[in-house]
Chains A and B, each alone.
Chain A
Amino acid sequence: MIKNKQRSLGHAYMIKGFLFLLPATLVYLFFAVIPFFSNLVLSFQSWNGFGAKELIGLENYISAFKDRYFLLAIKNSLYLGFGSSIISVIVGVLLAWLLMYVGRRTGGIIRTILFSPSMIPAVITALIFSFVYEPEYGILNSFFGAIGLDSLQKAWLTNKATVLNSLLFVSAWKQVGLTMVLCFAGIQSIPQSLYESARLEGAGEWQVFRKITLPLIMSFIQLSAIFALMAGLKIYDTVLALTNGGPGKFSVVMPMWIMQNTFSFNNYGYGASMSMIFVLIVLLGMVITKKVVKGDAYEL
């Protein structure tokens, strides 16, 4: 009897539960899920935004792979994605490790500073960097001039040899703090007793890092690698504000080329097909990162 009553009570809560969940679900369906699937359909159509949509099969996809700017954009986005992921993980993990040797107060201040770029909109950090890279009065060139290394002065953002790495630096600069903070959280969750016993057995600091810290924070490293990769692959604001894809189209990235084709050239179907390829690349990048950076869960 009681059991039955409990079950029917549970059932009632379940129905109410679905009612509670409904508004969020509907809003998300309408503004994310449905547009995505309609985008998938659109990717097989030709549409200029006004007239009738015409089904053209795989034609958009075929043109995408013949579009040399799209291929260049894929290459650039991959470079920025994997590049900033690798840099920010290496630097971020090292900084997180070094934070352990610094007192709580100093460490807190340094953490706050290093993390601050993650909280400023990318447009603003890009504009700040337009100051750094400005060829005549920029911080970087003036600095080289001041210490007598004029030969290192470059037109950072208009020179093909330096533009991608200049963008990569901004992207990594923005991501490092996040990696560091995540890995630091991981390090803090490691029990002190593990360190103490390792040190008692005479392990050096580097050994302790390699043998204890690193393996135990792998899941945090994996997550930060994925975050950094996503940010790099989807990078748009920074590139738009700093180079707008230039010089020429040399630093064009995927979202930028898709935006231009869709909303400036009114090739909605074509833009949709490229955005689907973009989705696949992002998912693939995520799977690869998960495979390469194994985040085994350790029982602590």
Chain B
Amino acid sequence: MNSDSVFTGKKDIVVYLSHIILIFSALIVAYPIIFLLFTSLKSTQEFFVNLFGLPLAPVWKNYPDAWQTGHLNMYFMNSLIVTGVSVLLTVVLTTMGGYALGKMNIPKSEAIIMGFMTFNFIPGIAIYISLYSMMAKMGLLSGYQALILPYTAWQIPFSMYIFKKFFETIPMDIIESSRIDGCTEFRTFFSIVLPLITPAMATVIVFNFINNWGELMWAQIVTASVMSLKTLTVGLLNFKTEMGVEWGQYSAGLCLVTVPLLLLFGYFQRYFIAGLTQGAVKG
């Protein structure tokens, strides 16, 4: 929205005040991260004498040290595998489900998706306790599937909702003509419909990625007995004790997990927001 086209004349003060307040708020949000970046390049000695300033003698070694001491390699790989596979599975399941609900004459499809969405509000802990004993009994707790399968499932309601909404906007004619031409439903789905829903796909992927990447509680429950599965969030909890008082290293470690995320998500932010506002139309 261009401010010039909307307003004319006497609101100069409002415009100045807006800039000041907004920039100030942005600083409050950004400052801890900037501080972290500065600190990540300081030696422990420099940290104590030069708390706020730019690093005078940058210690790049903090980064590889943090990666090593914090076991970030293992945590990072685990998070990547778990998140990647579960997001992929959710996308496969919910494009199909959303297509069925949006375009395949299922009666009461609105009520069905609302059922999923309502259930989605239930706090995780009310599911985890029994799920843990169920999965233990079935021997599902020892490998990656212990995290992948539940993560896949928990993202289904929202993702399917987004896909359903999106499929509904695709005109029926396109689908019918392909059906009449003798395409199977699978063929119609993959070659005609799927290419049309890239924006929804992006929203769902970004949204699920953020949620699964940041999940802590279930990962804690599962990895309490299977240490080798520890994801980044669980691993980071012990980060501070492992680093001791090496503030520079500690900050470097935090930067390693934060900054790439910020760059990546900063780029994809609009898809995340699009997903939220779409979910907002009826929540």
Contact = CB atoms under 8 A, between A and B. Distances in A.
B265 A272 contact: no
Given A17-B100, A124-B257, A36 B126 contact: yes
A113 B203 CA distance: 19
Interface in B123-138: 123-131, 133-134
B266 to A, nearest CB: 6
B254 A127 contact: yes
A152 B54 CA distance: 26
B26 A220 contact: no
Contacts of B36: 128, 131
Nearest to B189: A20
A237 B3 CA distance: 40
A132 B127 contact: no
Contacts of A185: 273, 277, 280
Interface residues of A: mostly helix, strand, loop or mixed? Answer: helix
Contact of A182 (B93, B214, B280): B280
A129 interface: yes
Contacts of A176: 25, 29
B250 to A, nearest CB: 8
A298 interface: no
A32 B276 CA distance: 22
Contact of B269 (A27, A115, A223, A259): A115
Interface in A203-260: 205, 219-220, 223, 226, 230, 233-234, 236-237, 240-241, 255, 258-259
Contacts of A181: 273, 276-277
Interface string A115-137: 11101111110011111100001
Interface residues of B: mostly helix, strand, loop or mixed? Answer: helix
Contact of B51 (A28, A137, A263): A137
B33 interface: yes
A278 B126 contact: yes
A216 to B, nearest CB: 14
B1 A205 contact: no
A42 interface: yes
Given A16-B104, A120-B214, A101 B125 contact: no
Interface residues of A, number: 100
Interface residues of B, number: 97
A110 interface: yes
Contacts of A55: none
A21 B106 contact: yes
Interface in A252-300: 255, 258-259, 262-263, 268, 271-272, 275-276, 278-279, 282-283, 286
A112 B130 contact: no
Contacts of A279: 122-123, 126
B126 A16 contact: no
Given A23-B96, A100-B6, A102-B18, A31 B236 contact: no
Given A35-B127, A124-B258, A188-B1, A20 B133 contact: no
Interface in A77-91: 91
A98 B258 contact: no
Contacts of B272: 119
A42 B126 CA distance: 11
B76 interface: no
Given A10-B105, A31-B150, A226-B283, A39 B129 contact: yes
B249 to A, nearest CB: 13
B170 to A, nearest CB: 15
A142 B121 contact: no
B26 A114 contact: yes
B130 A131 contact: no
Nearest to B245: A137
B125 A32 contact: no
A182 B50 CA distance: 40
A197 interface: no
A278 B277 CA distance: 27
Most B CB contacts (10 A, CB to CB) among A91, A102, A219 go to A102
A76 to B, nearest CB: 15
Interface string B19-45: 101110110111111011001000000
B139 to A, nearest CB: 15
B62 interface: no
A32 B127 contact: yes
Interface in B69-101: 93-94, 96-97, 99-101
Most A CB contacts (10 A, CB to CB) among B2, B112, B130 go to B130
10 contacts: A18-B100, A20-B100, A21-B97, A27-B152, A104-B3, A139-B31, A181-B277, A263-B224, A272-B130, A278-B125
Given A13-B185, A24-B160, A32-B153, 8 more contacts: A31-B131, A32-B122, A42-B129, A98-B18, A102-B19, A104-B3, A182-B280, A199-B7
Which 9 residue pairs of A and B lie closest in terms of their CB atoms, listed nearest first? A17-B104, A121-B214, A31-B153, A20-B100, A24-B97, A35-B131, A101-B18, A98-B18, A275-B126
